[in-house]
Amino acid sequence: RSLGFRVSVELPFSSSTMAAPSTEIFHATATAPVNIAVIKYWGKASTKLNTPTNSSLSVTLSQDDLRTITTASCSPSFESDALWLNGAAHDVSNARSQACFAELRALRKAKEDKDQSLPPLSTYKLHLISENNFPTAAGLASSAAGFAAFVRAIADLYELDESPTELSRIARQGSGSACRSLFGGFVAWEKGSRNDGYDSVAVQVAPESHWPTIRAAILVISDAKKGVSSTSGMQATVATSTLFPNRANTVVPARMDAMKKAIAEKDFESFADLTMADSNSFHAVCLDTIPPIFYMNDASRAAIRVVEEINRCAGKKVAAYTFDAGPNAVIYYDESNQDIVLGALRKGTADVPGWTEKQPHITACLPEGFNEA
């Protein structure tokens, strides 16, 4: 397998005394890391296909830091599809989960049709047990890692041969940003031009090994669940923001090209300028939504001021902030500047109201490297 996921596929017990076919259980476990976009996805071209109004680009973080681990199992004895996330049962009757189940089962069915000796896993109900090692739904891209691990675990259970890009088409239907978590390193989700969403997929722009010194510091300002979900927020923005068409049609396409160039050239200053500008543009269209959406709070804005101050003192861009659909800050920097950046973040944020003695939790994350195909 071409990815670095930890996978275990076990065959069913087959002792004649122990296992009647109805008690057979097949399972596989996969992990998927969080990714943090530097060019943001915000807006759906089709809610049914979950295709975006603009392409986006992200860095996948190390799964040693932030990840979802999911075990997928199936058995003729299971009565319904089910999902437990961090120990609590979650509904899977929603269209997104159903779309992922249906597509993965269809791929497995095609495999079973070709090879009649395979067990008919496509006909069995699925149980998924999933755990995050970070706050769920607090703007820390939990749905990205969640749906990527969901799709990867079932694909491994079914022993599918599809490439990460092909699987990204399925993960996208669970949650848009999830398609990017099927790759490590620097990943683009190309919006595609087809009406059926077939070419709306993730591709790796560069592996982690291309620029291994880049780091992300996560400032957990709040681990509370976000007020406005990404899905409803972006639909409101598309429907009401007058700034939005310019962002989606003009600003982001140019930024995608510039960001790919900055990454190819390992040009941190351009990477930083583009990252910060795109985060601000995304939060600007949120503010321009009716009614306005506020994801950042006073502590988030304090983090921006600290980063601006770090860059001013350094005389160049050594740190770049970005915020998703929540108040938590992600600060990208190069390893060579770790002491300056983390030192200043710790010092500069110590007195910020709302950041109590135990906050912010600053975690320095490495980018994720997947094995080459």
Q: Which spans of this chain sit near ligand DP6 (rule: CB under 6 A)?
A: 37, 40-42, 50, 56, 141, 143-144, 175-177, 230-231, 324-325
Q: Which is nearer to ligand DP6, 33 or 176 (CB)?
A: 176
Q: Which is nearer to ligand DP6, 97 or 177 (CB)?
A: 177
* Unique residue bearing structure tokens 């990527």: 148
Please give, one letter per residue, the 3-state secondary structure of 251-293: HHHHHHHHHHHHHHCCCHHHHHHHHHHHHHHHHHHHHCCCCCC
Rounded to a whole number of angstroms, the minimum distance from the CB of residue 75 to ligand DP6 is 29
Rounded to a whole number of angstroms, the minimum distance from the CB of residue 357 to ligand DP6 is 29
Q: Which is nearer to ligand DP6, 174 or 207 (CB)?
A: 174
Rounded to a whole number of angstroms, the minimum distance from the CB of residue 124 to ligand DP6 is 27
Q: Which is nearer to ligand DP6, 74 or 141 (CB)?
A: 141
* Collapsed DSSP state (helix, strand, coil) of residue 249: helix
Q: Which is nearer to ligand DP6, 65 or 324 (CB)?
A: 324
Tokens of 47: 């809610």
Rounded to a whole number of angstroms, the minimum distance from the CB of residue 237 to ligand DP6 is 11
Is 283 in contact with 295 (CB distance < 8 Å)?
Answer: yes
Rounded to a whole number of angstroms, the minimum distance from the CB of residue 230 to ligand DP6 is 4
Q: Which is nearer to ligand DP6, 31 or 181 (CB)?
A: 181
Strand partners, 58: 37, 187
With a CB cutoff of 8 Å and minimum separation 6, the contacts of 264 are 206
Rounded to a whole number of angstroms, the minimum distance from the CB of residue 85 to ligand DP6 is 15
Q: Which is nearer to ligand DP6, 3 or 37 (CB)?
A: 37
* Unique residue bearing structure tokens 């940003």: 177
Choose among 85, 31, 59, 57: nearest CA to 218: 59
- Cα radius of gyration (the chain): 21
Rounded to a whole number of angstroms, the minimum distance from the CB of residue 44 to ligand DP6 is 7
Is 191 in contact with 50 (CB distance < 8 Å)?
Answer: no
> Residue 307 burial by CB count (10 A; 0-12/13-18/19+): exposed, middle or buried?
buried
